[in-house]
């Protein structure tokens, strides 16, 4: 449980999670419930499951336990993003490897037609040290930039 406690701290320290009180409360409550009930995959803010947050934080021990307990590897959040999509955006190389080992769909598209590789390219988090290694690994395993043109258009529209 000590490793999983450390992984919860990692998840809480990601900038998106640190700045969102609802996510912090969800992670704290989930951590507490896991200590008494055992591992499970509750749904939190934005319909993201614990697997999504574990993938973001590269929390492989927790992620693998969730997958071994039957969490769908391509679990969808409210925007139809999978844990692999979040792992790619955050440069979570070990999480990406664990998800692909469990046969995650490498080119799944979300509701904005972005693939995990597209998220890495257009929104890759600057706080992550493994973006380049994650990019290379995804490409070696068949990742494509499906949805890249649409992602580029959306990005430009937000600037205007």
What pLDDT, on a 0 to 100 scale, did the predictor assign at position 133?
A: 95
Q: What band does 160 get if pLDDT is binned at 50, 70 and 90?
A: very low
Express each pLDDT in 100-133 by its tens digit. 999 999 999 999 889 999 999 888 777 777 899 9
pLDDT above 90: percentage of residues in the chain? 74
Predicted local confidence at residue 151, as pLDDT: 66
As beta bridge partners, residue 43 has 49
Encode pLDDT of 36-81 as tens digits. Answer: 888 899 999 999 999 999 999 999 999 999 999 999 999 999 999 9
**Whole-number Å distance between alpha carbons of 60 and 77:** 19
Query: What pLDDT shows up at residue 15?
Result: 87
How is the chain split into domains, by residue range? 2-159
Mean pLDDT across the chain, nearest whole number?
91
User: Residue 116's closest CA among 95, 141, 138?
Assistant: 138
H/E stretch holding 116 reads helix 116-123
Distance of alpha carbon 39 from its chain centroid, rounded?
A: 18
Place of tokens 């590269």: 58
User: What's the CA gap between 152 and 96, in Å, rounded?
Assistant: 24
Length of the chain: 160
Domain at 2-159: CATH architecture:
Alpha Horseshoe (1.25)
């Amino acid at each position: 449980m000590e490793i999983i406690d450390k992984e919860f701290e990692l998840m809480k320290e990601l900038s998106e999670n640190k700045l969102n009180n609802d996510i912090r409360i969800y992670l704290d409550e989930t951590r507490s419930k896991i200590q008494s009930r055992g591992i499970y995959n509750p749904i939190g803010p934005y319909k993201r499951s614990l697997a999504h947050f574990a993938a973001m934080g590269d929390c492989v021990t927790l992620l693998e336990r969730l997958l071994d307990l039957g969490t769908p590897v391509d679990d969808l959040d409210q925007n139809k993003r999978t844990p692999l999509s979040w792992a790619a955006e955050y440069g979570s190389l070990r999480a990406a490897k664990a998800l692909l080992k469990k046969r995650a769909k490498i080119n799944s598209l979300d509701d904005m037609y972005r693939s995990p590789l597209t998220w890495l390219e257009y929104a890759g988090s600057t706080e992550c040290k493994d973006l380049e290694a994650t990019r290379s690994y995804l490409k070696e395993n068949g990742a494509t930039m499906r949805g890249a043109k649409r992602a580029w258009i959306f990005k430009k529209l937000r600037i205007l």
